[in-house]
Amino acid sequence: MSWRPQYRSSKFRNVYGKVANREHCFDGIPITKNVHDNHFCAVNARFLAIVTESAGGGSFLVIPLEQTGRIEPNYPKVCGHQGNVLDIKWNPFIDNIIASCSEDTSRAHRGARRPQPAPSLPAEVLATVISRGGSKHAESGGCLLRSSSSQSELECGESSCVTGALPPPNIQRPWLSSFLCPCKEANCKNHRVNRVVFLGNMKRLLTTGVSRWNTRQIALWDQEDLSMPLIEEEIDGLSGLLFPFYDADTHMLYLAGKGDGNIRYYEISTEKPFLSYLMEFRSPAPQKGLGVMPKHGLDVSACEVFRFYKLVTLKGLIEPISMIVPRRSDSYQEDIYPMTPGTEPALTPDEWLGGINRDPVLMSLKEGYKKSSKMVFKAPIKEKKSVVVNGIDLLENVPPRTENELLRMFFRQQDEIRRLKEELAQKDIRIRQLQLELKNLRNSPKNC
């Protein structure tokens, strides 16, 4: 019996990453130099928020997605912390509310109840500033959980409760108990866990960490049985922290390492081999963090299934990276865009505190499908005066970067000087001819 290699067909096998053009990136941003293991970036369908480097307290920028290009150095910042900002999160249901966490122990709210936006933010943006770690609940509107090594606090609407290191004991939620189980029962002797992510409704957990030999590793766990991982796979021997990103609609897992330039993506299934490698996006620029666009903000007409916003600290640049499924048809692709959680909360804070469970409110992305490109607002560009000579703008005075550019510029200048000398000599000859003609006219007998 002849051996045949196992082949698993997948509609996402040829997914590729596409970096946006330079004019569609965000340039000139002083990205924070903090070494904390966070992304320092948050994105929703309208705004992009980035933690910036600042002195005398923490701050971050809030930029409309349409305002691409170079950001002015005096662009207004959100300042509300005495310590460095560690993480920022957008409200999943209200696009103009953001929460931030910091190293300080203070807690403040800004603009949450004001009818007008704060003066330091773009139009219609309000800031909610929370100290320490914070996370928005994905099904209940108005709930925010923040925690640190000393205490945790759950805020729902106008009420809040503070407890010890664990969540409040009077609030028994299934997702909280599931989150605590891996820390208490999982057998992680050969796998030191750094990050954990729930894999939607598959009743699986995926963790990233390092092995005994300090190689980066991922492990897949059964949520009901944490005694032994279903599968373990070593990635490489680099030292950067691995960040997992899971797309519950396509069952795709994206792995991005801090300080790496590549993004690996896999497809997860409920049957063996559970984890199937698809492809890898490579880039020479290292990434400090990644922001993820929500599903309802993707470009459906381009078959975009995921979008990252990559932070490049060395260049002060934010690069959008689109994960695209290649399709020839221009029609809406229903097989890669199933019903996805929408922008409406399924529960109120009181219902969630009362123990009610509901599935998230789903929405279809077909409404956002447009064949023609939509018009976007761009910041007005100041008109620059230019003096172009031989295809060279003399007012820009761009210095040459390489020796070849210097020689090329030198020869161009020599040619230009030679041409100007010849033109000047011709004009001198013409002037002398005109002077002689004028003298002859004055001395002619007709003028006497």
Residues in contact with 283: Cβ distance below 8 Å, sequence separation at least 6, in sequence order: 19, 261, 262, 310, 321
Residues in contact with 44: Cβ distance below 8 Å, sequence separation at least 6, in sequence order: 90, 92, 95, 293, 294, 297
Q: Specify whether the CB–CB gap between 237 and 244 falls below 8 A.
A: no
pLDDT band, residue 380 (cuts 50/70/90) = low
For range 17-42, the mean pLDDT: 91
Give the tens place of pLDDT for each residue, 311-325: 999 899 999 999 999
Which segments within 191-303 are labelled E, that is strand?
A: 192-198, 204-210, 216-222, 231-234, 242-247, 252-257, 263-268, 275-281, 290-292
For range 111-127, the mean pLDDT: 40
Give the tens place of pLDDT for each residue, 190-209: 778 888 999 988 889 999 98
Six token digits for residue 80: 């509300």
Higher pLDDT, 12 or 146: 12
Higher pLDDT, 62 or 140: 62
- Tokens 């300042």 -> residue: 79
Give CA–CA dist 22/18, Å, rounded: 12
Q: Which of 127-141, 147-161, 169-183 has the highest mean pLDDT?
A: 147-161
pLDDT beyond 70 at 435: yes
Q: Strands across the sheet with 242-247, in order? A: 242-247, 252-257, 263-268, 275-281
pLDDT beyond 70 at 116: no
Give the CA radius of gyration of the chain: 30
Burial 98-114 (b: 16+ CB within 10 A, else e): bbbbbbbeebeebbeee
Six token digits for residue 132: 């320490």
pLDDT beyond 70 at 156: no
Give the tens place of pLDDT for each residue, 413-425: 898 999 999 999 9
Give CA–CA dist 86/37, Å, rounded: 9
Give the tens place of pLDDT for each residue, 322-344: 999 998 877 888 888 999 988 88
pLDDT beyond 70 at 140: no
Give CA–CA dist 135/336, Å, rounded: 28
Give CA–CA dist 315/30, Å, rounded: 9
pLDDT band, residue 62 (cuts 50/70/90) = very high
Higher pLDDT, 119 or 293: 293
Six token digits for residue 377: 């607002």
Residue type at 323 in one-letter notation: M
Six token digits for residue 51: 């933690």
Would the pTM count as exceeding 0.75?
Answer: no
pLDDT at 186: 61
Burial 147-156 (b: 16+ CB within 10 A, else e): beeeebbbbb
pLDDT beyond 50 at 243: yes
Would residue 118 be called left, alpha or beta, if left means φ above 0 and alpha means ψ between -120 and 50 degrees? Answer: beta
Give CA–CA dist 166/153, Å, rounded: 9
pLDDT band, residue 175 (cuts 50/70/90) = very low
